[in-house]
Structure 1
Amino acid sequence: MHLFLKTIYKIQHACVYVSSFFMAILAVSVFYDVVARYIFDSPTIWANEISIYLLQFIVFFTMGCIQMEGKQLRVTFLIERLQGIPRKILEALTSLLILPYAIVLVVYGFKFTENAFTLGMGSPTLLEVPLWIPYSFICLGGILLAVAAVCSVIKAWIPQQS
């Protein structure tokens, strides 16, 4: 089981590293667009659209890692006061409550992706990006989040190694 958790951990962190790279690209492209627009009075036609897709990737592909690391925003006043089995039960329960949200992301993300692919939908801009690509980020991010939620439940019950 530890090998499974380590593998998922590595996949989740690879997504975070790719997202970090995309965040750097996002910052550079937005900076370039601001300079081009306000200093040279020549706005780009691509920076806004690319920024949206990069941000979408960053949001959906980092949710799982944030969940696995326990870094998400949460109210912990009750969990911090508990010890032993009651704490493990509450940790597992809160992780399981993420699953319905993740399942909605997977199901509807897949439907959007499939629909965009089937209809050959493209963005209504000069780039004409096939919309199934950014829509797929929703589904894949939901899968990563669901797997992370399950791993969080498993992690709550595995004895911690020092």
Structure 2
Amino acid sequence: MTKFEKVFLNISGILLAILALSVFYEVVSRYVFNNPTIWANEISIYLMQFIVFFTMGILLIEGKHIRVTFLIERLTGNARKAFEIIIVLLIFIFALVLIIYGYQFTGNAISHGMSSPTLLEIPLWIPYSFIPIGGFLLALATTCSIIKILATSYDKEDIM
């Protein structure tokens, strides 16, 4: 794992802890003290968005994404490599969709001066920007994954 990946994972871990604490604080303030916050729900959503979009690529490189493997585990050699590459190319297409539409959403939010419809009035270009940035990181990860697949041997002896 590279230093770059470790930085994003550490940031995401810290944000996940902040997310858990803010949700806990909201539950206690709402149900124990009958005094809900105006910020916890919105901030929790933005923290979750950051965590999801900024760790997608790392999870792909590390092979930690949820996968249905009943077919691919039966393949060996070049057939398995080809199948793995096709899967990663489909993920690359998804990454391009995130980049293109995320960029459009972010640009639209900037040009219209959009902000969240809450008391916090967070400029929406901030959470919207997580989408194309995450898509870009995922696209980079697909390139790394293809290189990793090409360098991997999928012989029967190696799999079992």
> Same fold by TM-score, threshold 0.5 exceeded?
yes
Q: Which moved more, 1:87-96 or 1:103-112?
A: 87-96
Gaps of 5+ in 1: 1-5
Aligned with 1:24 (options 3, 17, 20): 17
Partner residue in 1 for 2:156: none
* Alpha carbons 1:13, 1:65 under 8 Å: kept: no
Amino acid at match of 2:19: L
Write out aligned runs for 1:102-121 (5 A): 102-121=95-114
Partner residue in 2 for 1:154: 147
User: Does 2:76 align with 1:90?
Assistant: no
Partner residue in 1 for 2:133: 140
Partner residue in 2 for 1:48: 41
Distance 2:6 2:76 in 1: 29
Identical columns (%): 59
TM value normalised by structure 2? 0.89
Q: Which moved more, 1:73-82 or 1:41-50?
A: 73-82
TM value normalised by structure 1? 0.88
Residue by residue over 1:98-143, the C-alpha shift from the partner in whole angstroms, topping out at 9 and shown as x without a partner, is 1111111000000011111111111111111110000000111111
Structure 1 residue runs of 4 or more that deviate by more than 3 Å after TM superposition? none
Distance 2:98 2:41 in 1: 24
User: Does 2:95 align with 1:99?
Assistant: no
Alpha-carbon RMSD across the aligned residues, in angstroms, is 1.5
* Alpha carbons 1:113, 1:132 under 8 Å: kept: yes
Distance 2:135 2:152 in 1: 27
* Alpha carbons 1:106, 1:139 under 8 Å: kept: yes
How many correspondences in the alignment? 153
